Chains A and B, each alone.
Chain A
Amino acid sequence: MERALETGLAEDCTENKRAFFGNKSEVSVDKCGKCGKCGATGNDDHYQKERFFTDPQAQTNIPMLNQATKIPLSHQDEVPCQRSGAYELFESQICAIAPEIGLNQVRKLFSKFNDGNLLEAVNYYFNNIDEFENMDEQEEEQELQEPAEVRTTESEAESQQQSINNGEQANKKRKVAELEECSSEFIYIGSLSIDAWCTRSVFKKFQYGHHLKMKVNTNFLKFYDNEREVGKVPEQIASKIIPLLNMGIIHCVSTVIYNDKRLSIGDSFLTQIDFYLCRSVLIGNHASLSSPLNNSTTRSLKNIKVFRNKVKPKNDFNSAVNSEEEQSRLRGICLTSLFEKLELQPFNPQGKNNNTDGNETEPITILSDDEDNAISFEGIDEIKQQQEKEKFEEEDQGAALGLNQLKKIYESAQSASSLQDFSLGPTTPKNFKLELRPYQKSGLSWLLKREREYNLIDHSSSQSFVNDDNEGTMHPLYKEYEFPKDRSWEMNNNKKNETKYTGASMENEKFYFNSYNGDISLEKAFIKTTCTGGILADEMGLGKTISTLALIHTCPYDTTCADFKTAIREKYAFKTTLIVVPMSLLSQWEKEFMKATNNKEAYKCLVYYGGSGVTITDILHSSPTVVITTYGTIQAEFSKNPHGGLFEIKFFRIVLDEGHTIRNRSTKTAKACYSLDASRRWILTGTPIINRLDDIFSLVKFLQLSPWDNFNIWNNFVIKPFEDKDLSKSLETLEGILAPVILRRTKNQKDEHGNPLVVLPDKEVVIQKLKFNKLEKTVYDYYRSKATLSLKAGNVFANYSNILTHILRLRQVCCHLDLVQSNNLAEDEEDADTCLISREDDELHSVLETLSQKDIQQHQHQHQQEQQQEHGEDVDLAMEKIYSKYPTDISLDSECLICTESPIPLRHMAVTNCQHRFCLRCILQHLEFQDFANQPCLCPVCKATITKETLFRVITLPDSSSYKLIKYREVQKSTKITALLNTLMETPSNESVVVFSPFSSFLDLIEQELMTYQDFFQVFKFDGRLKMDARENILTQFAKSNNKNENKLKILLLSLKAGGVGLNLTCASRAILLSPWWAPNVESQAIDRIHRIGQLKQVKVYRFIMENSIEEKMLKIQARKKQIGEIVDNNDEERRQRRIEEIMMLLEE
């Protein structure tokens, strides 16, 4: 890509220096000036196309067309190493001054002035220009003969090699290749009339129709008349044609059209060049052209590289291209440019408007990171500028996606895959214990098809796979062209019977041109996916894991690799599938695998995880069916040694679970994943695009989905049209790329019979609005006013972090006041904002403390306080009275007069100082209610004054014959905890409940609280602080069915972040979301933990929202996000702006 710009530069150089060169060499100035002018001012006259030459007085001799494939020797090889740097410098400098100079000449000059004295060398060169030219020619002639006669060793060996490599190019000699006179060898693609420039004076003027030979001499395309150089093609055209000639792609025939006088150096004469396409480059299978070209092209490319100041390609992975790629790109560029000159336009059947036409004909620019190195053709700069202007005006949105666009992409993926759904019958997996659903079976067929395991697919549905590779989508890099009518010299002069070139037969035939790599094909180019694997993007809960396991069981190892020993030698774990999963899913995968296989001997599973003790040698030798590892593990190994460990061996198959983990291609994890080697690659993800088109690129890159895994191509064909607001084009391309490799089904999708794919039990989501109690309200208002203050203080940006802290505070107050006061909040699994909390100033703390103190004082009535103080003695008295009233069994004949529970379970019981028994929560509720209504707290039964402090709880003693009273100690219960308790109490004990909160410290508090109800609840807690084995243990315990008599409600406290993704908790049918989260999809993800395949009961979800609080506003923001789609921009500014808008929403009245 760098080269193109250099081309431009070199051309500029040439034009400017030509005059200089002319002066020095005493060529007549006016001619030279003219030439310089043509070079500089463009092609007004010279490039006019005159195709209708009807003068019948043409010469009859048809020239032997010499394809002049002068291959410049790689002379730099011969220059001693230590001097090569100096030589290159010298060469580049001298080339800049005298662009026409040949390499041999440079070498001569260099050896002559090997002190690198450039000035002297240049002077010498120009003073002896004729001599040099002669020398050049002589050498040329020498070399022309040499290959055939003397120098047989090297060159023939090479040409032999070439012929082995590529039979059709065997006839090409290293220097001059005579073209075989095979009639079908060439196809006419157009003519160009150019002003050739005379380089040697001629004795008599050329006749009209005189044929000249054309040869490439170093970097010039020269005309020869009887082996004598007479002129050359202007550089601007020559630079495009030479590489093509060198590569043997095109063929030129030149005819003199107009020449009115004897030519001297610098004169111009008009020639027509007919261009032919070598039939050998036309391919049915375009892949073949991508294969290595013959050495000569490499050589010439090398040469060009040297000639153009040799800029080393950057080594980052965006621009790193191998020479093969460079070649094909050069070919593409040159052909594009030639087609343009020949006015060959892409055939457009729809007849789109001119604008798009213009876009399509424009050569493909591949922008590198460094704009300076970008390819530049005439006009491109303008276009670029224009684009940049547009970008500037439109505040470039980057490749971020709106929700609607995202939908479109998904739709396209779905439409493509649903087609396949019906074209493929179901396949029943082998050695598989679990029963697959119908759509999973057809999914399996698709998976096998993608792996080319056709014979493993059940053919009951009698589908043929003949057209398998032709997915029906034209390769987006290809454009359709039509061969033009043959207007070559010979055709026009009615030499049909003598012509060697077929043209007429090809007229209006179509061909397909890949402007990126220059491949030309007569057959319509369909997208071919060479990669085996793809993206299984079924929606959450459709059983991606099961489908994958079915695939692994059906096709467990590489059948083409039967030799175990060879495999080990080559470090090919041909029987092993590597599964990379997020850590929380490690054990789940292992379990699922065990559950699925019905032959535990044959299908083994290894967990490769830090501390699992499994080594690479184990993997190779014991060849387990699957090795499960985590993203963390491969990332750690990759940073340690990018070629060791897992990266040492090649796997049969790699599966990335939750593959969107690698969506950012610059992350270490993503790079580590790219480096894993395997024959087959799969990605499982429910959300292939999170918010940017680039997300997909990373997946494509991992799949090695050529050519899209090259970022430049991706950028050019997907990102750029998108940025240019050409959405349909971008999506079209994207669909073309993804359709063959992605399978996505959604829960709502209907099967062929019109039934939904998955029928899940109903889901009921209840928003439970809660009211602050007095204290909470006070604290909340305090923080609210603080937040409003800092918002009013002016700049939101300046106070940004401050305001975030306030928002967090408000959210915490909604949960529990202790959250605000505790200091360990930084450990919370909030986003980065949380860290600010710990740094919060002490002042705030003291303010808060006095505030809450004051509030508590207000809140508790004066007399209650007094009573409490007096109570020291009263407590004993009251307890004695109770003991005497209920001598043995306090629960006997007990009924809670508030909830009518009878008898009251001991754990639950609270006794008042007036000896009346209630459920603790009932009497507390009563007290709170009275308190809230500012009414005296009286015993419901006897109207004696009671307080929370004078309540007693009951514990049974070990002998269980008696009981003991303990004073009730108030754990400060927040409204939410109370509500949670109530909800849990109402839940039948045979259910299991999952409780979500984003604050793990809140979960800690809840755990503490629930511990006092151990008779009713079995509490589990799962958050990010847990170790791997502990996680697994907890989940197993939670999922275990209640077989014993203990009739306890199972509760899993789950932190939203650690447990929101991937876990399968279908054993529970209730969920409680304690606090809302910003993004609605995070919540729905959490709900989907229980509402997914395998769930048999009706699902009930409670969402706790504090009334008149920030939480209600958060619901609004959720709604807004759902509405406008969650657009996350690359643009920090905009993202911030959006966040600020949200903040304003949050804190407004």
Chain B
Amino acid sequence: MSALPKRIIKETERLVSDPVPGITAIPHEDNLRYFDVTIQGPQSSPYENGIFKLELYLPDDYPMVAPKVRFLTKIYHPNIDRLGRICLDVLKANWSPALQIRTILLSVQALLGAPNPDDPLANEVAEEWKSNEAKAIEIAREWTQKYASSS
């Protein structure tokens, strides 16, 4: 296990001291590369009022490679599959070391506000979204109510 790079320490400090609204990221005490993340569903989206739990892991090669992020809370979204995996360009090919945990989480939050059924990960959901968007949004809202309500 190599030592924790300065950058990770710095990022973590900033996440704590200057948190992004609607997002929390707290590192595990025993593994500072592992974060418990919560993201509030964006307003005027089917995920509004939902608080979604995610996990974030910084691989050894970070920041040369993107962090690994996964939803823990069940979510109905064309770009997020049942296992919580996220289809997002900045987490894949468009990753740049200039991006940070904070920016990545903002991108994920933005993804909730702008689902992209044309580049799906959960095919059934994407199908539903395309054929009957209103129903899909309804289901998403139900799921948010059911799985991601704060209470």
Seen from chain A, the residues whose Cβ lies within 8 Å of a Cβ on chain B are: 768, 897-901, 922, 925-926, 929, 935, 938-941, 943, 986
Contacts and interface: CB of A to CB of B under 8 A. Distances in A.
> Which of B7, B11, B61, B93 has its CB near the most chain A CB atoms (within 10 A)?
B7
18 contacts: A768-B2, A898-B7, A899-B6, A900-B6, A900-B10, A901-B6, A925-B64, A926-B64, A929-B64, A935-B93, A938-B96, A939-B96, A940-B97, A940-B98, A940-B99, A941-B98, A943-B96, A986-B3
B89 to A, nearest CB: 12
A986 B7 CA distance: 12
Contact of B98 (A768, A897, A901, A929): A897
Interface of B: 2-3, 5-7, 10-11, 61, 63-65, 93, 96-99
A1117 to B, nearest CB: 26
* Among all A-B residue pairs, the 9 with the closest Cβ atoms: A940-B98, A897-B98, A940-B96, A929-B64, A898-B97, A900-B7, A940-B97, A900-B10, A941-B98
B6 to A, nearest CB: 6
A899 B7 contact: yes
Contact of B61 (A922, A929, A943): A929
B90 to A, nearest CB: 11
Given A898-B63, A925-B64, A929-B61, A941 B96 contact: yes
Contact of B11 (A900, A922, A938): A900
Contacts of A935: 93
Nearest to B9: A900
Contact of B97 (A768, A897, A986): A897
A925 B63 CA distance: 10
A856 B107 CA distance: 38
A767 to B, nearest CB: 12
Contacts of A899: 5-7, 63
Contacts of B63: 898-899
Nearest to B93: A935
Contacts of B6: 899-901
A986 B6 CA distance: 9
Contacts of B3: 986
Interface of A, helix, strand, loop or mixed by DSSP? loop
Contacts of A922: 97
A941 B100 CA distance: 12
A897 B99 CA distance: 8
A319 B6 CA distance: 71
Contacts of A900: 6-7, 10-11
Contacts of B10: 900
Contacts of A939: 96
B25 to A, nearest CB: 16
> Which of A768, A898, A901, A935 has its CB near the most chain B CB atoms (within 10 A)?
A898
A943 B10 CA distance: 24
Nearest to B8: A900
Nearest to B10: A900
B18 to A, nearest CB: 14
A901 B9 CA distance: 12
A940 B100 CA distance: 11
A895 to B, nearest CB: 10
A843 B145 CA distance: 75
Contacts of A940: 96-99
Given A897-B97, A940-B99, 14 more contacts: A898-B7, A898-B63, A899-B5, A899-B6, A899-B7, A900-B7, A900-B10, A926-B64, A926-B97, A929-B61, A929-B64, A935-B93, A939-B96, A940-B97
Nearest to B14: A900
Nearest to A932: B64
Contacts of A768: 2
B28 to A, nearest CB: 21
Nearest to B6: A899
A922 to B, nearest CB: 7
A935 B93 CA distance: 9
A986 B3 CA distance: 9
Nearest to B64: A929
Contacts of B64: 925-926, 929
Contacts of A901: 6
A102 B2 CA distance: 93
Nearest to B65: A929
A898 B100 CA distance: 9
Nearest to A943: B96
B149 to A, nearest CB: 37
B44 to A, nearest CB: 31
Contacts of A898: 7, 63, 97-98
Nearest to A902: B10
A768 B11 CA distance: 25
A940 B6 CA distance: 19
Contacts of B65: 929
Contacts of B99: 940
A915 to B, nearest CB: 14
Contacts of B93: 935
Contacts of A938: 96
Contacts of B5: 899
